[in-house]
Structure 1
């Protein structure tokens, strides 16, 4: 189903549901308030009759109590029928106006429910009025065909009026939804064409509403800004790929020439330059690989983690300086298959952090595939806010991003200045389908 049609269906269904709820509430409340109206009418009639009798009784005590088809009355509780007299000794089940109901009026039992009104008289006596049930009489209740026909006619009129309101309201709502959603669907369809730069810079369609046109302008402007940022990023990648890697390659070649001229051993200043050039080269290659939208999978090879860690320790041993730091290694010699350069960058960055921030004491490095663990004591940091990133080189956050791309998992814990990094070389994500080979693969240099 197209998105515009789905949106129309959702909006129209919402309006219909709202109307249905309103009609349901109206249907439930109408009988309730109709019954209340009938009860009020009965209470008013009985109370008015009782007041009328009370006035005449004050003038003439021989005035007979009122009696008609619907109710009768007696003076004094002793004159009431025995069952009604017993009912008055129980609490009423309902009261409406001056009338109290004892029992259930809807019951088929003739004595189950009775409506009673008590009216005090001028001489201290009490007039009791109660309803009469004619169902048990011979011939049953009197039929009222003309009144029933009138009521049925009025009910049919109410139903007709309800349909006359509901159907036009439904049509009006459907037209309103179509009128509002149609340009919104056109806006949604037009937004899918904004991937093309020519569509963004071209003439924008008119969507009939000022608000939709403003939204379209804002959307086109946002897409233009994103495309401009993407172009800047592309230029930056090209500059990084050529303008930065070229001088790094020149520096590396000249350092190798200096090493040959000096007999293979560089002086400490040139060693530091060599290490910095190598790190910059790896950082540039890593950033280029990570910045690709769909980077090609890195080739895996058999890695001796023990040899790799020892090489990295020798490469970063200068960070120890004059501190008394003992390295405790517990590394499995079993070969494992991993992307060599990415593994070297991540492990080297964590080792660099460990040596950079370690206090005098012990640095533990444990490895048993698929988990590498580094534990060291860190110095008191001067940061004003708590942070888990004691980054150096690429930094911990960048390592998280690189590991996430590779499907690895990093866990960092800091407890009482004890800094622990756990790196799991286990891909927790489902395997991806191999991407087609590109003309210029972005494999990291080993």
Structure 2
């Protein structure tokens, strides 16, 4: 079962989160702007009262200043009560519109300070107007049922508007996600069906959206190319399995015939041909085994690693030539039960490359607890050399793939004048083949 996030839920959840954040911000800003509205009402009412008084005062200087249950006034600072005069000597807590607030103004509902309006008159006098809310609130809260009912009605309307925005948005998001993601689900199901070799890659679904059709066409074209390449590879392997092994068998038979005619021992050129034919035969069989999609396990055999290494050293001793190489062997006598052909190919490949590119000096081969170590001295690479892999390049890639199939582990250590290959052998536990780029 494939695990992961569903695009439908990601889109729906993201849009709902955006709407929820908008509603939260809206609900947070609503009380603040409501409080601003109430302060604006204070400012507007007192300023309007002051303007009306100034108009009447200009017509009739005997007009008394406003004095009612909400505000009181005076035409000079000396006529104000002492507590108001003291407040005017201090810095106001906040100025809003035409009025000034004295006292704690953190919350309008809990505010019990004083609101003062200062308005100059035409004759040079100044009208001082201040609210008396803090006075009558001492005698108890005044009930305003009609106003409270209106406010509750408006707040309930705000809640209804929020729900009216959220629920339709939820429906629209669900429909949009279904409309957009449903074709993507069909595309996903169709692409998953292409994993089967017998699936008709040319019968793809058609979609409303152009982008999905382009993506489906591209995927369809890629799958057809892969299947065509797979068919070509199968034909190549089938031909190679027959033609290559037939040619190698003919070469091997003729080399053996020449050996009989030569009295049992071939001359050096024919010996090299015989070694090459044998090596090609083993590599061809192993590569054909590796190319199978689900290869069966190679047969394991009990053998002596010391004897195998001695045989491989004799087969590749000609690579030493005239160099002064001292072979140092430390081979344990522990029993081995491994795929003999694959083991011969891998170990022979490493041994051949090590002997071919080894410099004069010691050449160490150690085998203990199913771990083979080959250490050889190498010449210092020159700056003009394009590669310093000493022949291990492509061969090492193939050996890594073969060992990955067999569950073996390869470790390569390249030092200044020494090259070390460590091969850890174990029972067959096939793994996924690595890419050539991974090596």
**TM-score scaled by length of structure 2:** 0.79
Partner residue of 1:257? 257
Distance 2:89 2:326 in 1: 98
Query: Helix, strand or coil for the counterpart of 1:15?
Result: helix
Corresponding residue pairs, total: 424
The residue number in structure 2 matching 1:191 is 191
Structure 2 unaligned residues grouped into runs of 5+? 432-439
Give how far 1:230 is off.
0.3
1:209 aligns with 2:209: yes
Structure 1 position 173, deviation (Å): 2.4
Q: Per-residue displacement from partner, 1:148-167 (whole Å, max 9, x unpaired)?
A: 11112222222222222322
2:367, 2:319 → 1: CA distance? 22
2:358 maps to 1:370: no
Match of 1:279 in 2: 279
- Summarize the Cα distance change of 1:317–1:12 in structure 2 as closer, same or farther, 3 Å threshold: same
Report the counterpart of residue 160 of structure 1 in structure 2: 160
SS at match of 1:422: strand
Partner SS, residue 359 of structure 1 = coil
Shift in alpha-carbon separation, 1:250–1:107, aligned structure 2, 3 A? same
The alignment yields a C-alpha RMSD, in angstroms, of 4.3
1: distance between equivalents of 2:409 and 2:144?
85
Separation in 1 of the partners of 2:338 and 2:213?
Answer: 53
Partner of 1:240, secondary structure, is helix
State how far apart, in whole Å, the 1-side matches of 2:125 and 2:425 are. 100
CA contact (8 A) 2:381 2:388 kept: no
How big is the shift at 1:316? 1.2
| Distance in 2 (alpha carbons) for counterparts of 1:386 and 1:104 | 81
Q: 1:180 to 1:365 in 2, by over 3 A?
A: same
- Alignment map for 1:413-424 (pairs within 5 Å): 413-424=413-424
Distance 1:325 1:69, change over 3 A: farther
Tell me, yes or no, if the aligned pair for 2:47 and 2:117 is still in contact at 8 Å.
no
TM-aligned CA deviation for residue 181 of structure 1: 2.5
Change (3 A) 1:114 1:393: closer
Query: Cα 1:48–1:291, aligned 2, differ >3 Å: closer, same or farther?
Result: farther
CA deviations on 1:186-243 (whole Å, 9 max, x unpaired) are 32333334335562244x4432222222222222111110100000110111122111
1:291 is matched with which residue? 291
Partner of 2:228: 228
Q: Deviations for 1:7-51, whole angstroms, at most 9, x for unmatched residues? A: 544443443333223322322333334334444554666788899
Match of 2:323 in 1: 323
> The residue matched to 1:358 in structure 2 has which SS?
coil
Distance across 2 between alignment mates of 1:342 and 1:234: 22
Closer, same or farther: CA 108–117 of 1 in aligned 2, 3 Å: closer
TM-score (norm 1): 0.78
Q: How is 1:16-415 mapped onto 2 (pairs within 5 angstroms)?
A: 16-39=16-39, 42=42, 75=77, 81=83, 88=90, 99=100, 102-103=103-104, 105-106=106-107, 114=113, 132-133=133-134, 137-138=138-139, 140-194=140-194, 195=196, 199-202=200-203, 204-381=204-381, 389-392=389-392, 395-415=395-415
Measure, in 1, the Cα distance between the counterparts of 2:66 and 2:430. 94
Q: Tell me which of the two structures has the higher relative contact order, counting C-alpha pairs closer than 8 angstroms and 6 or more residues apart.
A: 1
